Structure 1
């Protein structure tokens, strides 16, 4: 087994974790999930899910990773519960599943940067998306994006992931703030802000059973939970770091970036007169509609390049964390160089992603299974283990480096045991009902 790396600095860990969270979950998924699930009503449920479910669950993953200093599968053996290794295996598989179609969307972003620079989508944004989102061109773009991800992960924790995210995360924040300031000057900004930030109580009550599964799933996705990422990243952390504070910084930063993304996307949609309904979601909320917005404003090419450049940076920062999960497991168990492992796993990801690259209906299917089945089951298994099996040992681990928050531990533990578990079970049941039991449910609605 190769010697295990660690983060060079604490800020390196925090930025890497933020980079993992601040990805397509915020800049692609969050806007279109908001558009398809009641606008500001979805935002309210999402923020509640982040606070009550996401943050406690993140700390649970931190506990497992730092206490064992190994990958997400072997961590359970290190804790003396080898029979629970399947929980880690499910998390690793979930991350692998998600990254397979995530790479495809990353390929779209590359092509939209080129399309912005050349103005290729200005005449007909809808047709352009149809041309680049599926088929041989999408397969090649997927391969290009994946090759960049593999190259960064192959360089290692300190020289690859840490250095990359130290550049990526500040860049995302600065560019998004600049874009939000520009968008505020557009004629449709007020209507966009109202849709995004003014919840309707009637919509919240009436559509809660439909909205909640997507809101909780979004919290898991955007915080990189249920994919073994936070277990893996925290396994490279020193024993004296305050995981509560670090987790709080990650959650707050990630949420602010998601809100910023909404403040950019929805005013652009309203600027071109788009009527935001449940049919205006999907990838079109980011790609087709925003592309139409850039085609109709001054200096649209410049702003299009900047916007999709931000999306690309965010996509890369998340993708490298998803790949690192599988590489960490292999690196801990097999005597093969990191570079070869990353390349071999990349080939597997490419093959699994081929259906999504060839037809967006498959990407929709992969995404819905990830959101409504794999992520909630994976997070439920992890928090159930930490809350009810580790129990007081988990509290002791959380207190290391956080002695000033001594009273927080028991509150967190019972929140994990009761509130988080109940929320995830409810979400899972609602999601299964939505996917399998609702009349005329259709997995294969294209994006």
Structure 2
């Protein structure tokens, strides 16, 4: 067996986990989800789900990872029997699919950094400019460049690659995001933007909850890197003296703070330029924000800084997703880190090529992995931990806590009933939405192109 690595420091683990959570989910996906789903109403439900579901499920993944010191597939093989041993494949599959298209979107950010430095953002031509960047051979090349960077970092290992890089990237993301949020505060129209973003209307929540709730849940899982095996894998490199609940709280808190900052940056800029927040969907930061930067003084430089931050955040997340599938090859197949990383990186690149050639495949991949697999993995693992290995789970979550009291039991019962029931409903709602996409938009695309 290949010698297994560990984190050199607690800070390295925290920053790596935060770096995984703080990625495109925060700065690309979060603002357009807020814009599409009713502004502050979405934010309110999202924050509620982070506390009520996100935090408990992080602990579920931490418990499994640290106890087994294995990747998701190996962890469930050690702890489970029968069909339960197969749950890990849901996580590995989700990570593989997500990174294949995630790299494509991350590649766009690299192009938008260059466009900003060259002063080439355009207000009227923003949609056409995005179309040129998002698809075609240029998009494939950018996809390849970004994936190569991910491969290079992960191939170096836990300490020399992932831990060293996130110690630079995560503080940079936080510092630049705070600076951009302060700048956005000074823009004309910021007050209206904050009202839209921070003042939820009860009528919106009650009338649109069936669409807001599953979207907010999917966003919470995506942004916390849940259901894709990252937290299981990262916790597998932890020592038994770590307080898992404390670390989970820090990770969830920092991730949510940066997602919140993304809204404080995006919406004042959009309102200052008179752009409707929900108009662009997934292309929001690349169309609407780029158009807004074109209208601002020094907009090219500001845009380059913003998209540079997005690129760094994307890289910090991508290396964590790659580590999930690489750790499977190392733990279960005995493959060396470098050949495993290169082979898997190339495979992900190939799977992602269709998404670089046509945007419909990003919707296809994202809907399947983010809306279905992530929460399905979270649901199955919560049932397994809560009902199949409860004693082991309480023992593991209690390690490193001086005055544990009834914390472990309370967490276990919260996972067993409220979290499991909520995830059953959310998986069903998201599956129904995805079925609608397959029979609607994707079916229309197939008819037009085949």
Q: TM-score, normalized by length of structure 2?
A: 0.96
Counterpart of 2:339?
Answer: 340
On the 8 A contact 2:39/2:197 being kept in 1, the answer is: yes
Aligned partner of residue 403 in structure 2, secondary structure: helix
Counterpart of 1:434?
Answer: 433
Deviation at 1:434, TM superposition (A): 2.5
Deviation at 1:439, TM superposition (A): 12
On the 8 A contact 2:121/2:300 being kept in 1, the answer is: no
Counterpart of 1:238?
Answer: 239
Counterpart of 2:104?
Answer: 104
Aligned partner of residue 224 in structure 1, secondary structure: coil
Counterpart of 1:331?
Answer: 330
Could you tell me how far apart the structure 2 residues matched to 1:389 and 1:76 are?
A: 12
Task: Report the more deviating stretch, 330-339 or 293-302.
Answer: 330-339
Counterpart of 2:448?
Answer: none
Cα shift readout 1:133-183 (whole Å, capped 9, x = no counterpart)? 011110000000000000000000000000001111100000000000111
Could you tell me how far apart the structure 2 residues matched to 1:439 and 1:337 are?
A: 39
- For residues 252-263 of structure 1, the aligned pairs below 5 Å read 252-263=253-264
Deviation at 1:282, TM superposition (A): 1.7
Counterpart of 2:59?
Answer: 59
Counterpart of 1:140?
Answer: 141
Counterpart of 1:378?
Answer: 377
Distance 1:9 1:387, change over 3 A: same
Computed over aligned residues only, the root mean square deviation of the Cα atoms, in angstroms, reads 1.6
Moved over 4 A (4+): 437-441, 443-446
Counterpart of 1:85?
Answer: 85
Could you tell me how far apart the structure 2 residues matched to 1:372 and 1:163 are?
A: 32
Cα shift readout 1:315-366 (whole Å, capped 9, x = no counterpart)? 0000000000000010113343211111100111011101110001111121
| Residue 264 of structure 2 is aligned to residue 228 of structure 1 | no
Counterpart of 2:29?
Answer: 29
On the 8 A contact 1:365/1:444 being kept in 2, the answer is: no
Could you tell me how far apart the structure 2 residues matched to 1:81 and 1:8 are?
A: 33
Could you tell me how far apart the structure 1 residues matched to 2:104 and 2:437 are?
A: 29
Task: Report the more deviating stretch, 190-199 or 108-117.
Answer: 190-199
Unaligned residue ranges in structure 1 (runs of 5+): none
Could you tell me how far apart the structure 2 residues matched to 1:158 and 1:399 are?
A: 27
Could you tell me how far apart the structure 1 residues matched to 2:70 and 2:282 are?
A: 37
Unaligned residue ranges in structure 2 (runs of 5+): 446-450
Deviation at 1:275, TM superposition (A): 2.1
On the 8 A contact 2:32/2:277 being kept in 1, the answer is: no
On the 8 A contact 1:364/1:445 being kept in 2, the answer is: no
Counterpart of 1:281?
Answer: 281
Deviation at 1:445, TM superposition (A): 9.2
Deviation at 1:443, TM superposition (A): 4.3
Aligned partner of residue 74 in structure 1, secondary structure: helix
Could you tell me how far apart the structure 1 residues matched to 2:436 and 2:96 are?
A: 27
